[in-house]
Amino acid sequence: MNPPPPLLGQSELEALRQLDTCTVSNAIETFNVRLRNTGFTDASIRSLFPDNPPLVGYAVTVRISCSGPPIEGHVAPERTDWWQSLIAAPTPRIVVIEDVTPHPGNASFIGEVHAHVLKALGCLGAITNGAAHDLPGIHAAGFQMFAANPAVSHGYAHIVDFGRPVEVGGLRIQPGDLLHADRHGVLNVPLGIATRIPEVARQQQELENRVIEFCQTGTFDLRRLRDAVRGVFPDA
């Protein structure tokens, strides 16, 4: 069994942050490590702060439920035992929350307070198939948020378990997975090729710029256009 790929250094992570998620996805395709319609969330997950820069970090997973009050009392007890598992994970961290409620999105786990708590624990943002509330407070905390929708209440949100694989927006995520997210969605980046992505992206961008520049010349030449496009799309 091969050992897992090493974690990225700060400069390597920063190089990925300079790219948008579409560019990273295009670069991943060139390695043929997975099908082109896999490895990213579907349209049910969106950035609640789309003007924020790309979010890059390692997944810390937790499952929650928001349905129904507890058998005793008005709210479920606040679990803090998962914090120890969280701070043992590599940094920078992204909390990935699967809401297992039958109809997720009516209530939320993340609000202003949890955003500050998670940021203090080394998390840059959160991704959930559920909701988030108190968006101005989350935004002011500098905490990035990807969710299905906003909500007005935390309802009966409580932790079910943590540290296991989760599924958010059709994407299965393991603890420790490297994620890249921006206004386009959330992408799982294979660690084995992660350090090579920025250079491949640069090469692809050069080819794409040639097509764009040709289209902007105002001189239409179908043969030359085909030649330019073939550099970007070899099958064209």
DSSP state of 191: G
Residue 223: the pLDDT is 81
Q: What's the pLDDT band for 63 if we cut at 50, 70, 90?
A: very high
Q: Is residue 73 part of a domain?
A: yes
Residue 72: the pLDDT is 53
> Are 158 and 212 members of one domain?
no
Q: Is residue 2 part of a domain?
A: no
Other CB atoms within 10 Å distance of the CB of residue 235:
4
| pLDDT greater than 60 at residue 74 | no
Residue with tokens 């350090």: 195
- Quick one: average pLDDT of 3-29? 95
Q: What's the pLDDT band for 207 if we cut at 50, 70, 90?
A: confident
Domain count, the chain: 2
Q: CA–CA separation, 1 vs 208, rounded Å? A: 39
> What range does the domain containing 177 cover?
39-189
> Are 139 and 161 members of one domain?
yes
Cα distance between the two ends of the chain:
40
The three-point CA angle 160-93-133 to 5° equals: 60
Please give the full DSSP string across 103-137, using - where no structure is assigned: STTSSEEE-HHHHHHHHHTTEEEEEESSEE--HHH
> Are 158 and 202 members of one domain?
no
Q: CA–CA separation, 194 vs 27, rounded Å? A: 10
Kindly state the tokens that stand for 163. 């540290």
> Are 78 and 128 members of one domain?
yes
> Are 51 and 160 members of one domain?
yes
Q: Is residue 16 part of a domain?
A: no
| pLDDT greater than 70 at residue 58 | yes
